[in-house]
Amino acid sequence: MSKSLVITEKPSVARDIVAALGGFREHDGFWESEDLIVTFSVGHIVELLSPEEIDPKYKRWTLDTLPILPEPFELKQKSGASERIRTIKKLLARDDVDTVINACDAGREGELIFREIVSFLKSKKPTQRLWLQSMTRGAVRKGFESLVPGEEFDGLGAAAACRSQSDWLIGLNATRALTRRLKGRKEKTAWSAGRVQTPTLAILVGRELEILAHVSVPYWQLEAKLCADSQEYVGTWFDPAFRSDDAKPEARDDRIFDERRANAMIDAVSGRAGTARETRKPSRETAPPLFDLTSLQREGNRRFGWSARRTLNAAQRCYEMHKVLTYPRTNSRALPNDYRAVVDEILDTFSQAGPYQNEARTLIEQGMQNTKRTFDDSKVSDHFALIPTGKIPGAPLSGDDGRLFDLVARRFLATFFPPAIWTRVERVTEVAEHSFRSRSRTLDEPGWRSVMGQIEQEDQALPPLQPGETEASGVAVDTLDVELHAERTKPAPRISEARLLSLMESAGRQVEDEELAEAMREKGIGTPATRADIIENLIAKGYLARLAKALRPTVKGIRLVDVLNRIHADRLARPDLTGELEFRLSQVERGERSADEFMSEIVDYTKEVVDITVRFDYEDLYKTDPPLGTCPLCERPVYERSWFYRCEEVPDVTAEEDCPFRIWKDKAGRYIDRRTVETLLEKGETGEMEGFTYRDGRTYNAHLSLEDGELQIHAVRGSAGERISDVPEYDVDDKPLDACPMGCGSNVVETPMEFRCEAGLARRAENEDKAKTWAEERKAAGQPLRKYKVPEEEQPCSFVLPRTVCKREMTREDCLKYIEKRETDMFEDFTSRFGRPFAAKLVLKENGRHGFEFQNAGRKRTSRKKTAGKKGTTRRSTKKKTTRKKTARKSTAPTKTVRKKASRKRGAGNASSKRSASRS
User: Is 645 known to be catalytic?
Assistant: no
- Cα angle 795, 799, 802 (rounded to 5 degrees) comes to 125
Which run of H or E residues covers position 238?
strand 231-238
| 647 Cβ neighbours under 8 A, 6+ residues apart | 631, 633, 634, 636, 637, 638, 639, 659, 661
Alpha carbon 365 to its chain's center: 42
Closest to 687 measured CA to CA, from 705, 711, 712: 705
Pairwise CA distance, residues 3 & 1, whole Å? 7
Q: Are 531 and 547 in contact (CB under 8 A)?
A: no
Closest to 214 measured CA to CA, from 733, 700, 575, 691: 691
- Cα angle 356, 357, 362 (rounded to 5 degrees) comes to 100
327, 356, 605, 700: the catalytic one is: 327
Side chain identity, residue 397: L
DSSP at 133:
S
How many residues in total does the chain contain? 920
Alpha carbon 785 to its chain's center: 41
Beta strands in 523-675 (DSSP E): 544-547, 550-553, 629-630, 637-640, 644-647, 662-664, 666-667, 670-671
Pairwise CA distance, residues 173 & 168, whole Å? 8
Side chain identity, residue 415: T
Alpha helices in 575-673 (DSSP H): 575-590, 595-615, 618-621
Q: Are 535 and 546 in contact (CB under 8 A)?
A: no
Q: Are 101 and 6 in contact (CB under 8 A)?
A: yes
Closest to 302 measured CA to CA, from 449, 554, 501: 501
For residue 328, whether the previous peptide bond is cis, meaning omega lies within 30 degrees of 0, is no
Pairwise CA distance, residues 531 & 79, whole Å? 26
| SS3 category, 316 | helix
**Beta strands at 670-671 and 666-667: parallel, antiparallel or unpaired:** antiparallel
- Does the CA dihedral 812-816-819-822 come out positive or negative? negative
| SS3 category, 684 | coil
**Beta strands at 837-844 and 231-238: parallel, antiparallel or unpaired:** unpaired
- DSSP assignment of 206-236 equals HHHHHHHH----EEEEEEEEEEETTEEEEEE
Pairwise CA distance, residues 418 & 678, whole Å? 57
Pairwise CA distance, residues 699 & 826, whole Å? 38
User: 816: burial class by Cβ within 10 Å (0-12, 13-18, 19+)?
Assistant: middle
| SS3 category, 201 | helix
**Beta strands at 97-103 and 36-40: parallel, antiparallel or unpaired:** unpaired
Distances (CA, A) of 19 to 12, 32, 135, 373: 11, 12, 11, 36
Alpha carbon 805 to its chain's center: 17
Q: Which residues are catalytic?
A: 327
